[in-house]
Chain A
Amino acid sequence: MKSILGSFKVVPDLDLLSAEDWEPGVDHLVDTSFVKSMLNVFDESALEMMLKLSDLGESLGTSIKLNGVTVGNKLCDNYLKTLYALGFARADRIESDDEILFKPERTVAALKEYIEKTEMPDLIVMGSKSADNASGCVPLFLAEELKIPCITAVTEMQLLEDGKVRVTNLYDGGIQIRDVQGTFMAVIGDVPGTYLRVPTLKERMQRGKKEIIPVLLETENEEKQKLINSHPVIEKREGRLVSSEDLYPFLKERMMKL
């Protein structure tokens, strides 16, 4: 394992909204422009996992290069500087000022182009979705575009001596642990209690002062995968309300079927 790329999103901290702030505005959107931003929680877990993998690599004598990327506006620069201060080799922002929620294909295209222009990492780490109402499609589409395997709902990763990565993820209500070799995408699920470590002021002075020059891409709107429709999966128990009078005939009928 030589390099890991973590892609993250900066989102408004919705906990700071009061009940009345949730009133949708004219465009049916809740105005979050005045609240402070935060790292999307899944991405925060993902970035901390990258740092832990790098720590593990160091203890095994392997140096792992960490790169971070986000799609967004200038607001993200502080977060990128924090990554530099934490020892990331590279932290880039793909310039974008519009709301790209519900347009996963655009984020995918941008990230793909970015990877092609920079380097293909050995592992890509992404949070499972960027907001409660986000589609969660980006990591899956990107893995497909890059033709690499993708593991979802990852809760833990460990670097093994032979260079493989031991990945723990939630799968069909259970926990799956497997050792993975070769390039893959890890989609980080809900890992409560994980927070990104905090760089010291000295580290910020030494490494976090780097100017963030936004990456401008050509193929912003080129989309191969297009989300045409989405609908909720309705999972209901099969059941019937039976009145006391109907109970006996109902049970009899079921017995007969058996």
Chain B
Amino acid sequence: MGLQREQIVEGLVEILGSDRVITDEKVLKESSLDRYRKYEQVNEIYTQPIPAAVVYVESTQDVKEVLMFANENGINVVPRTGQSAIEGGLETAKENSIVVDGSGMNKVLKIDKYNMQVTVECGVPLQGLDDMLREQGYTTGHSPQSKPLAQLGGLVATRSIGQFSTLYGGIEDMVVGLEAVFPNGEVCRVKNIPRRAAGPDIRHVVIGNEGALCYITEVTIKIFKYQPENNVFLGYTIDDMKNGFDALRAVMVEGFKPSIARLYDAADASLHFDWSGDKNVLIFMAEGPSGITAATAAGIDKLVKAFPGVDSVDPKIIEKWFAGLNWGPEEIAEEKLEILATKNIGITTEVSGCWDCIYEIYDNACKRIMEEVPDMTLMGGHSSHSYINGTNMYFVYYYNIVDCTPEEEINKYHNQINRIICEEVIKYGGSIVHHHGLGKARAHYVWEEYGSSFYILDTLKKAFDPNGIMNMGTLIPIKHNEKHPWEF
């Protein structure tokens, strides 16, 4: 027989003191979900089990004690930092969960300019860190659209990626070392080194664990020289989306390293630009020392212009547009009002695939969604992170919510759209998640995503979290409806 709610709170107060154990009902309700259930969130309807408490940890020791308490008593723990999760990672799927908030662990521990690395606690906000580094002529190179919201613990836990990834890589390419606490209280530090070949790269057990294996308390990431004066922007319209993917591929395959390489389809472009009309848009940015940026831009320009149906766009427009792309609390508040007034909601799903199938994934998913899902008001997407062997597709879709309650919305629309996207991705052998994490929704496709390698993930979960207390339902679902996996 597990602990009652009151006993859980008492136990937590004993560890952290009453100031850092929050049981206010509104806070608890708001902490039971994230932006995956955006329509429930804006309507303040809460369908998930309400947590027993939200606790604020301030040190690795705090995390260790809370995790050990939860582990001994079989209580579900949901780690969180910046709260910008959008895939259900913050949903408290089990009764009486503890939300462990690390945003108070916000110290920058060391800026090591000689070794070009910075060590921070998990609750350091990325925006603050990068602004501080930029003032000193450095940057993390990490710039997700949620930069004004996200914090380092969450960014590492979700395997996040930033807008300059084609040059700097995803967070997995930036993390050089870290500290994490496992449910049994074990504190593990992975040292900061440029590379090693001493067995498997154990950083990757922690990076992307989505709070389902361990709690990340500290990370060390690379820093880079910040030289914005050398940035060069390029913009084009391109008639055909397939040619657009080919142009992206050519840029990667020919060995160019722009920091941004993006392809917007016409529908998605219409959300950003007036001038694109019914054309697709290609965008590049070259970053780094001036000689390199000039050569990169010149090379890409020549390559792209050789494709049919390409027209150049004033680079200033691209530069200015890009500067206003990030989302902070103001945009989220404005979005809430708009959704409530119009009952029109915009959502995204990001996937990836090799060059030989990405167009088919994009095209089939868009067509099927427009045919099979009612009340769609926009269906499109963009590719924003390219690699030598393929790229991602970031589906962007809006729909009107008609004749359904906030509780019903998720199954009527959002889950159906995700289902179609995942079906198409699996069919072509791509990945159903490019950078937001599996969370709790797409976790229902974990078996198809992993195939025979599910054994490794499942064994990791069982080994590190034998009592099943770490963010249950994330990565691997708690309950799974075989017949209708997308109804939950």
Considering the chains assembled together, what is the distance between the CA atoms of A201 and B338 in angstroms?
19
Q: A18-B324, A193-B340, A195-B341 are in contact. Are A200 and B272 (CB under 8 A)?
A: no
User: Which of B293-301, B357-365, B373-381, B430-438 lies at the interface with chain A?
Assistant: B373-381
Q: Is B274 within 8 A of A36, CB to CB? A: yes
Q: List, in ascending order, chain B residues with CB within 8 A of A163's CB.
A: none
A16, closest chain B residue (CB): B324
Known: A16-B324, A18-B323, A18-B324. A200 touches B375 (CB 8 A): yes
Q: Is B273 an interface residue (CB 8 A)?
A: yes
- Please determine whether B341 and A36 come into contact, CB atoms closer than 8 angstroms: no
- B320 CB-CB contact with A under 8 Å: yes
Contacts of B314 in A (CB 8 A): 34
* SS class, residues of chain A in contact with chain B: loop
A193 contacts B341, C-beta separation under 8 Å = yes
Closest to B270 in A: A78
CA distance A36 to B320 in the complex (A): 11
Contact yes or no, B320 A35, CB < 8 A: yes
Q: Which residues of A contact B321 (CB under 8 A)?
A: 16, 34-36
Q: Which of B323, B337, B379 lies in contact with A201, CB distance below 8 A?
A: B379
Say yes or no for B398: interface residue by CB 8 A criterion.
yes
Interface flags, A192-227, vs B, CB<8A=1, else 0: 111111111110000000000000000000000000
Which of B313-356 touch A at CB < 8 Å? 314, 316-317, 320-321, 323-324, 337-338, 340-342, 344
Q: What's the tally of chain B residues with a CB closer than 8 Å to chain A?
A: 26
Against B, the Cβ 8 Å flags (1 = close, 0 = not) of A65-96 are 00000000001001000000000000000000
User: What's the Cα separation between A201 and B267 when bound, in Å?
Assistant: 11
**Contact at A195–B342, with CB atoms within 8 Å?**
yes
Q: Are the CB atoms of B379 and A195 closer together than 8 Å? A: no
Known A18-B324, A193-B341, A194-B341: A201·B274 in contact at CB below 8 Å: no
Interface range on chain A (Cβ under 8 Å from partner): 20 to 34
Q: In the bound complex, what is the Cα–Cα distance between A202 and B274 (angstroms)? A: 22
Q: Which residues of B contact A21 (CB under 8 A)?
A: 320
A37 within 8 A of B: yes
Residue of B nearest to A35 (CB): B320
- Report chain A residues within 8 Å CB of B378: 201
Q: Is B370 in contact with chain A by the CB < 8 A criterion? A: yes
Of B274, B323, B370, which is within 8 A of A37 by CB?
A: B274
Q: A34-B316, A34-B320 are in contact. Are A198 and B341 (CB under 8 A)?
A: no
Residue of B nearest to A204 (CB): B377
Residue numbers in A under 8 Å from B341 (CB-CB)? 193-195
Q: Separation in Å of the B191 CB from the closest CB of chain A? A: 41
CA distance A192 to B334 in the complex (A): 11
Instruction: Flag if B398 contacts A198 (CB, 8 Å).
Output: yes
Across the two chains, which residue of chain B brings its CB closest to A33?
A: B317
Cβ B376 vs Cβ A200 within 8 A: yes
CB pair A36 B272 closer than 8 Å: yes
B376 touches A36 (CB 8 A): no
CB of B231 within 8 Å of the partner chain: no
B338's contact among A18, A78, A195, by CB below 8 Å, is which?
Answer: A195
Contact residues in A for B376 (Cβ distance below 8 Å): 200-202
On whether the beta carbons of A193 and B337 are closer than 8 Å, the reply is: yes
Interface string of B386-411 (1 = CB under 8 A from A): 00000000000011100000000000
Residues in chain A near residue B377, CB distance under 8 A: 198-201
Bound Cα distance from A75 to B275, whole angstroms: 8
CB pair A198–B274 under 8 Å, yes or no, is no
A residues within 8 A CB of B398?
198
Residues on the A chain within 8 Å of B320, using CB: 16, 18, 21, 34-35
Assuming the contacts A78-B270, A193-B337, asked whether A200 and B400 have C-beta atoms less than 8 A apart, the reply is yes
Within 8 A of B (CB), among A15-43: 16-18, 21, 34-37
Of the listed residues A17, A200, A202, the one surrounded by the most CB atoms of chain B closer than 10 A to its CB is A200
Contacts of A202 in B (CB 8 A): 376
Q: Which of B80-123 contact A (CB under 8 A)?
A: none
Q: How far is the CB of B363 from chain A (nearest CB, A)?
A: 16
Known: A34-B317, A78-B270, A192-B337. 7 other contacts (CB 8 A): A34-B321, A36-B272, A193-B337, A198-B398, A199-B377, A200-B375, A200-B377
Which residues of A approach B to under 8 Å, CB–CB? 16-18, 21, 34-37, 75, 78, 192-202
Which 8 pairs between the two chains have the least Cβ-Cβ distance?
Answer: A198-B344, A34-B317, A34-B320, A198-B377, A16-B324, A195-B341, A195-B342, A201-B376
